[in-house]
Amino acid sequence: MTPAGSPTRPDKAGQFVSGIFTYCTTNKGLAARLRRADNPDTETQSWEVLAAWRINLEWEDERLPYATVAAAIARSKQAHNGSLSLGRALAACYDNNPENAQGKARLRRLLACHTTPELCRILRPLLRLIENKVSAVLDYHRLLNQLLRFQGNPQRIKAQWAGEFYGALDEEAAGND
């Protein structure tokens, strides 16, 4: 509820994340198609779902973030959104040791991205690593918002991920950007 007493309305990204969790728990065939949404060779299998959410399929900067997050949710086999940020999840893959050379290398590669399509391509194996090594559930809503805003302010999003990885950013203060 808002202070005035009217109910808050979740943003499109939040509704999408919630909807994908629901789809994946109720329709196994659809979940199987969504698991392949982040693969360039099979992503068209997810376009029916993306189009139903009024995602512009012609615009990569919109389509790829939604497809990437939908695939990650479908592979996660979780029932609901989590609270773990991308930077913290990456750090958790390496025992929360920000000095781990492999973890730092993966973070640097993520931070070197310049475009949303490049970022989504680099995220694909990172999300699989996180799915396999971290038991906590990612905050897919936050991640989707970051991906959608990346092109407009990449330095801010990169700073958030680096701060989370190195433990310098209080996620509560960062909000859902």
Specify the number of domains making up the chain: 1
What SS3 class is residue 69?
helix
Residue 29 maps to a domain? yes
Looking up residue 88, the CATH number of its domain turns out to be 1.10.520.40
Q: What is the pTM of this model?
A: 0.88
pLDDT on residue 168: 55
Does any domain span residue 42? Answer: yes
Q: Confirm whether 152 is domain-assigned.
A: yes
In a domain, 62, yes or no: yes
Q: Any residues with CB less than 8 A from the CB of 34 and at least 6 apart, and which?
A: 20, 23, 24, 46, 49, 70, 71, 73, 74
Q: What is the pLDDT along the chain (177 residues), one digit of tens a residue?
A: 334 444 455 699 999 999 999 999 999 999 999 999 999 999 999 999 999 999 999 999 999 999 999 999 999 989 999 999 999 999 999 988 888 899 999 999 999 999 999 999 999 999 999 999 998 999 999 999 999 999 999 999 999 999 999 985 444 444 545
Is 7 within the bounds of a domain?
Answer: no
What's the pLDDT at 9? 54
Q: Which domain holds residue 106?
A: 12-174
